[in-house]
Each structure stands twice: as structure tokens, then as C-alpha cells.
Structure 1
Amino acid sequence: MGILSFIKGQFIEIIEWLDNTNYTLVYRFPDDDHEIKNGAKLVCRENQAAILINEGQLADVFGPGTHTLSTQNLPILSRLKGWKYGFSSPFKVEIYFVNLRQYVDQKWGTANPVLIRDPEFSVGGRPGRVRIRAFGSYNFKISDPGTFFKEIVGTQGLTTTDSIAEYLKRQLVSKFTVAAGKSDLSVADMAAHYNVLETR
């Protein structure tokens, strides 16, 4: 192998991710410490987005399609790196793919009963206390990959639907507990007026 062939082989020319798992939500493209060739092809399949991270900062975000990586379509990265128009050298960034498909029928529930006041169980003029549990299902889909990456993923190399589902379950249970505690509804009325809890 000649030196030019070796150097050429060190640059990444095609960047893509084939997800065969259906549970990987965020995937870090393994660059093996190689630089990306200027003009490399970034392939985002249907229901995928790609995020470029430069030294910990969110740079450009790409949706489905085949994209040629150059200064013309890397405005944020070009600004962060201080590139002039027409910059053509190889460059180094972290690339994350985000799965944009909808995940349905995710289960949630309170692990322990929630203690609330109930006016129908009053004792001596004071509201009684009742223990309740709640459960249900929800769907989720990432609509803004950049915001999702900044606020939820951070610097994890790989994030699964299970880890996000656990996070969302904790959020739902926490919100339910607060809403149920603030509600003036009796336990009997909660099922018929759950829209009141949604606004709390």
C-alpha cells in the first residue's frame, strides 16, 4: 500500500447508520479517530436525523436524505471552526444519528400508591386521606433532534428507548403525583374528570 492510499484510507467518505434493533434511539457514529473528508456523503434514512457536535457544541442538524458535507451546507460548523468559504481540508466532529420514528404503547404506572386528600372521606370536618395508584400508556416521538440532544442525551454514546422510557415514566409519575395532590376532586370523580388533572 502506497503512502497516498494509506492517507486516503484514513478519511471518512460515507457516513451512515443502519439500525436493525428498533430500540436504539441515539447512535454515535464510530470515527476511529479518523477525519471526515470534505465533500463526504452523510446518509440519513427515513425517520433519521444526524447531529454534528464540535468540541461539545451542537453544530448542524440534517434530516432524511443524502447530504454532501462542505462549507455550503455546514453554516454553524463553519462558524464554530472559523472556516472561510471554500474550505476544503478534512475535519473532525462527532456525529450522532437520532431515530425519529414513533414509539407506541409505552407503559407507565406509579410504583407505590400516592396519598391524596379526599373530601368524600372527611373525618370531623377535615378531608380524609386516600391512597391511589395510576397507570396507562403513551406514545413518543422526537420532533426536535437538536433540542432533544442538548437537553436529554448530552454526551452519551448510545441511548436506547428503554432509558428514555424510564425517564419519561419518572416524569409522568412525578407530574401525576403533583396534579393529584393539588386537585380538589374526589377519587370517584378523578376518572370522569381526568382532563382537570391534565391542566395542573
Structure 2
Amino acid sequence: MGFFKNQFSNVVEWEEFRDDMIFWKWSNREIKKGSKLIIRSGQDAIFINNGKIEGIFKDEGEFQIESEIIPFLSTLKGFKFGFNSGMRVEVLFVNTKEFTVRWGTQSPILIPTPQLPGGLPVRANGTFNFKVGDYMTLIDKIAGIKQSYLVEDVKIRITSVLDQLLMKWISKEGKDMFNLQANAVDIARGIREDLDMQVMDDGLTITGFQVMSFNYPQEIQDMITKNASYEMIGNLQKYQQVSMTDGIASGKVKGGGAAADMAGMMMGMNMANEMLKNMNQNQQHQPSQQNQQSQPQHDNPNAGGQKKPNFCPNCGAKNEGANFCPNCGQKLG
């Protein structure tokens, strides 16, 4: 008896598990007496009979089907295993994690804009997140006809409509076509809502959508960069000065030629302006300094007195500033 029990027992588990697999179906086999169900972390097991969900099991672990699973099945709970026959049902294993997928436009999207009659060519890239949201819809629309379902299948579905949605939400409400990154959050929010409505019919839900960057053709990007520089600096004259200074600092402007002459002239003008500014400042300070120096002379009681002779007129002795000659006593001042 024990021999036959071991012969008929089998294991129901996700045999071909992959991280990028959304679901996998255990089918076309009988569940025998003594079989067990293995559910791993991040998996749900759904028992299906004739296209109808019999029961959903979400706890991870190892379970005896006869005693721990069948009693909870909706219409098969009274099923009794025969000696040589089993229960033929399908078990759908679903990956419950949230998937993250990178996306990118395959070719530029031509966004209508008045500045460019042919449209503004824009590329974009980012990520989106999704997970299984409705098991019944998933079974009706996809699992009923597929043995397994991959993340790549969902990515193909999403990217097939992404260009139209990008065009819709970029053009909506007069977005600044030359500064789309500033509106990336609003654009991504609108696209996520639209995508969620579309994949909802497959039992999936979009949990997040992000636009990492918008990319313009090089000539458009150069124009945007130059325009931003004008606005940042304020006017063309200052822009030219900064550009020339950067050229000299980087070594791109050197040697002879008009560029070097212009650089030298502009540097000379800047130096002359600085010198004139300093001279004006010095002239403003000089009158006050002169007044301060002249004031003590008027207050000095000895100012304007007779100068002492270097030699005594009486004896000729050398005088070093004394009022009387040190040799003969002659008054000198």
C-alpha cells in the first residue's frame, strides 16, 4: 500500500520560475493522493477548474493538498481521491512583486510647435512599474490562453502606445517645448493614468511611471543652451565678455587673429575702467586728507617763525637748531 502511495504522489510547484516571469501554469497533470503544494515567497497559487477559480493560496510554505488545500476549494472540497485516479485541475502561480521596466522612444517624436513647422523632434526615456492587480481578469484575458507571461510581453504592449501618449501629454496645456524637463512630473502623471486604464483590461495595474530625461537634436540643444545663457547673464554684451573670458581661461583663444585681438582689447578696456574707477575714488579722498593735514599748521604757535641759521653770525660756530650759539652765546632766533 505504501508503495502505491509514493508512486502516485507528486509535487505541485513553480518549476520554471524566473524573475521576469509574471505567471506560470501547472497544468495537464493529475494531482494524486498524497501530493503536496509548495508556495515560495512572492508567489500566489490559484487553483482553477474548467476556467473557474476554485481557491487562492497566498501563504508561503509546504502544504498537503488532500488535507490542507482541498477543504478550502469552492466546488471540489468534497472530492475524494481514488486509488488509481487523481484530481485534474490547473494551478496558476503568480509573481506578486512589483516589476520595474526601463523604456525609451525608438525614434524621435515630432511634437507640434509654432517655432518649428515640421515639429520638434524629441526623444525620451525613463522607467515604469507594474504588478498583477486582478486575478480573474488576468485568467480571462491572458492566462486562459498562455502557459506563461513575461515582463517583456508587457513592455511591448506599453511601448506600442507610449509615443502617442507622450505626444498627448507634452502638447497638453501649452507646455514649454524647450524646457520639458521642468514639466516631467506632470507629463509622467498623465501618462501613468492613461496606461493604467489600458492594462487594467489585462488584470495589471501601473503603479508608477517616470520620465528620466528628454533629449533634443544637437542643434536644438545648442540653441536652448545659448538662449539660457543669454537669460542667465542678462544681455548680449555681458554674454560676449563672459564667453571671451572663458575662451582665454580655457586656452581656446590664443595666438594672433581677430579673436585674440578682441580678447586683448576687451581685457584692456576692463583694466582701464578699473584704473579710472580707482583714480576717481582716490580723488574723492584727497581733499579730506589735505584738510586734515593743514589743520594742525594753523594751530601751531611756532608756525611762521624765523628759521634758525646754520652758523653763528658772530663767531661762525655751527648751529644745530639752538636759540643761542653754544660757543659765544649770541642769540640766533
**Cα distance, 1:156 vs. partner?**
0.9
- In structure 2, what residue type is equivalent to 1:87? F
Taking the TM superposition and a 5 Å limit, the aligned residue runs for 1:1-200 are: 5=4, 9=7, 11-18=8-15, 21-29=18-26, 31=27, 33-37=28-32, 40-65=35-60, 66-69=62-65, 70-75=69-74, 78=75, 83=76, 86-89=78-81, 90-104=86-100, 106-119=101-114, 121=115, 129-197=119-187, 198-199=189-190
Please give the alpha-carbon distance, in whole angstroms, between the structure 2 residues aligned to 1:148 and 1:131.
37
C-alpha contact (below 8 Å) 1:37/1:91 kept by paired residues: yes
Call closer, same or farther: CA 1:36–1:195 in 2, change over 3 Å.
Answer: same
**Cα distance, 1:86 vs. partner?**
3.3
C-alpha contact (below 8 Å) 2:9/2:33 kept by paired residues: no
Matched residue, 2:261: none
- Superposed CA offset, 1:163-184 (max 9, x none): 2332233354443233234442
- Superposed CA offset, 1:132-186 (max 9, x none): 2211123333355444444444421122232233223335444323323444213
Please give the alpha-carbon distance, in whole angstroms, between the structure 2 residues aligned to 1:67 and 1:173.
47
Please give the alpha-carbon distance, in whole angstroms, between the structure 1 residues aligned to 2:164 and 2:45.
32
- Superposed CA offset, 1:56-114 (max 9, x none): 33442221323444442112xx1xxxx5x53323321112212223433x221121222
Call closer, same or farther: CA 1:129–1:165 in 2, change over 3 Å.
Answer: closer
C-alpha contact (below 8 Å) 1:49/1:145 kept by paired residues: no
Structure 1 or 2: more helix by fraction = 2
Q: TM-score, normalised by structure 1?
A: 0.70
C-alpha contact (below 8 Å) 1:12/1:35 kept by paired residues: no
**Cα distance, 1:21 vs. partner?**
3.8
Higher relative contact order (CA 8 A, sep 6+): 1
Please give the alpha-carbon distance, in whole angstroms, between the structure 1 residues aligned to 2:135 and 2:175.
38
Please give the alpha-carbon distance, in whole angstroms, between the structure 2 residues aligned to 1:147 and 1:19.
23
C-alpha contact (below 8 Å) 1:51/1:146 kept by paired residues: no
Give the match's secondary structure for 1:141.
Answer: strand
**Which has the greater radius of gyration?**
2
Structure 1 or 2: more strand by fraction = 1
Please give the alpha-carbon distance, in whole angstroms, between the structure 2 residues aligned to 1:15 and 1:163.
26
**Cα distance, 1:48 vs. partner?**
0.9
CA RMSD of aligned residues (A): 3.2
Q: How many residues align?
A: 181
- Structure 1 unpaired stretches of 5+: none
Give the match's secondary structure for 2:32.
Answer: strand
- In structure 1, what residue type is equivalent to 2:87? F
- Structure 2 unpaired stretches of 5+: 192-333
- In structure 1, what residue type is equivalent to 2:112? R
Please give the alpha-carbon distance, in whole angstroms, between the structure 2 residues aligned to 1:71 and 1:61.
11
Please give the alpha-carbon distance, in whole angstroms, between the structure 1 residues aligned to 2:78 and 2:143.
33
Please give the alpha-carbon distance, in whole angstroms, between the structure 2 residues aligned to 1:23 and 1:173.
24
**Cα distance, 1:122 vs. partner?**
7.0
C-alpha contact (below 8 Å) 2:9/2:34 kept by paired residues: no
